[in-house]
């Protein structure tokens, strides 16, 4: 885009990096006026065949903290995670690998409050509880805590990897291995190069084969091979809580 600005945006021909940068900064103030950047030397009528341009603000490093409805910044999430992970949660909960400390899932901006609050979600594999820890970013304090069973938000990347490991180690993955060989022409030797996408699976009343899912934390996997093939194994359910594989009937 910078090239375009040099060519189009600045009719005076001052195409220095400084000018480009200052345009980006200035555009935040300048674009409040109803003026559309136009190509110098032509009338707007002659421009109608071209796509009109929008401002192209220069890249600025992410601020430490956001304001209003800004997304949570990296620093805010880091800070909130440290506060949300109470000593009790760290000691008593376990993650998907069985290690001490809960499985960290997600951080959302709480949009209902008056100040900026971060909602952090953790899953405890020991109790099957989803924990929601609300951190007040201004005071740096844990404002509220909630926990419930039977709630399953999307999987973390670590959970997707563990699910793939469990699948490959199970005899029920024979079909998957056959499909892998058919797609790639090679025998599956490990999970290197495989990219799993995990969809949370919750059993509905009429579903058969993995009725514990919902109370248990379960996923279905879509696996992308190193050479770009997708292998669909959605009839197999990986129960991350029970560390076992089930086939939907």
Partner 1 sequence: MRYRKIAGAAALLTAATLSVTAVTAAQAAPAATPCGASAMVKETLPNGTTWQLCWRINDKAGLVLDHVFVATKRYPEQVQVLDSIRLAQLNVPYDTGDTEYNDLTAIGLGSYGLETITGDDCKGGSVRQGSDGGGDPQVRDVLCVSAEPRGLAYRLHEYDWDETTEEQTEKVYSQEGHDLVLRTISKLGWYEYVTEYRLHDDGQISARLGATGDLAPSEYSTADNGWPLGKEAKDYSTMHYHNAFWRVDFNIAGKGGEKVEQFDTTTSGRGSMAAALTTTHKTLGTEGTFTKANQRFWRLVSPTSKNADGHQRSYELALGASDKYEGHPETKPDVTFSQKNLCEKWASDNAADPECPLDIKTVVDFVKDKEKLADPVMWVRVGFHHVPRDEDQSPMPMHWQGFDLVPRDFTEMNPLTPAGREGANGNTSDDGSQG
Kindly give the pairing relationship between strand 230-239 and strand 244-247: antiparallel
Distance of alpha carbon 11 from alpha carbon 5, whole angstroms:
10
Instruction: Report the run of H or E that residue 103 belongs to, with start and end.
Output: strand 103-110
Which of 155, 153, 82, 158 is CA-nearest to residue 118?
Answer: 82
Distance of alpha carbon 102 from alpha carbon 147, whole angstroms:
12
Number of residues forming the site for partner 1 (CB under 8 A): 74
Q: Is 154 in the site for partner 1 (CB under 8 A)?
A: yes
Interface residue with partner 1, options 3, 88, 112, 192 (CB under 8 A): 112
Residue 98 or 150: which CB sits closer to partner 1?
A: 150
Task: Tell which positions 91-110 bind partner 1, by CB under 8 A.
Answer: 104-109
Task: Tell which positions 30-69 bind partner 1, by CB under 8 A.
Answer: 31-36, 44, 47-48, 51-57, 59-60, 62-63, 66-69
Site string for partner 1, 161-190 (x = CB under 8 A): ------------------x-----------
Distance of alpha carbon 6 from alpha carbon 158, whole angstroms:
45
Interface residue with partner 1, options 202, 212, 215, 241 (CB under 8 A): 202
Secondary structure of residue 193 in the 3-state scheme: coil
Q: Is 200 in the site for partner 1 (CB under 8 A)?
A: yes
């Amino acid at each position: 885009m910078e090239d375009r600005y040099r060519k189009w945006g600045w009719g005076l021909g001052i195409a220095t990096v400084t000018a480009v940068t200052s345009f980006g900064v200035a555009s935040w103030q300048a674009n409040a006026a109803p003026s559309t950047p136009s190509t110098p030397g032509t009338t707007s009528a002659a421009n109608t065949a071209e796509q009109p341009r929008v401002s192209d603000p220069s890249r600025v490093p992410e601020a430490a903290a956001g304001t209003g409805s800004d997304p949570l910044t990296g620093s805010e999430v880091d800070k909130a995670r440290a506060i949300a992970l109470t000593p009790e949660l760290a000691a008593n909960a376990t993650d998907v690998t069985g290690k001490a400390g809960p499985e960290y899932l997600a951080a959302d901006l709480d949009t209902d409050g008056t100040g900026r609050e971060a909602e952090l979600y953790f899953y405890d594999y020991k109790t099957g509880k989803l924990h929601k820890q609300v951190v007040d970013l201004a005071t740096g304090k844990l404002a509220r805590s909630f926990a419930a069973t039977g709630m399953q938000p999307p999987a973390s990347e670590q959970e997707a990897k563990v699910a793939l490991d469990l699948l490959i180690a199970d005899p029920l993955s024979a079909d998957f291995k056959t499909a892998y060989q058919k797609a790639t022409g090679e025998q599956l030797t490990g999970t290197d190069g495989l990219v799993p996408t995990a969809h949370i699976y919750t059993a509905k009343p009429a579903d058969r084969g993995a009725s514990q899912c919902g109370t248990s934390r379960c996923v279905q996997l879509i696996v992308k091979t190193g050479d770009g093939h997708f292998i669909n194994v959605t009839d197999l359910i990986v129960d991350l809580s029970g560390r076992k594989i089930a086939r939907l009937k």
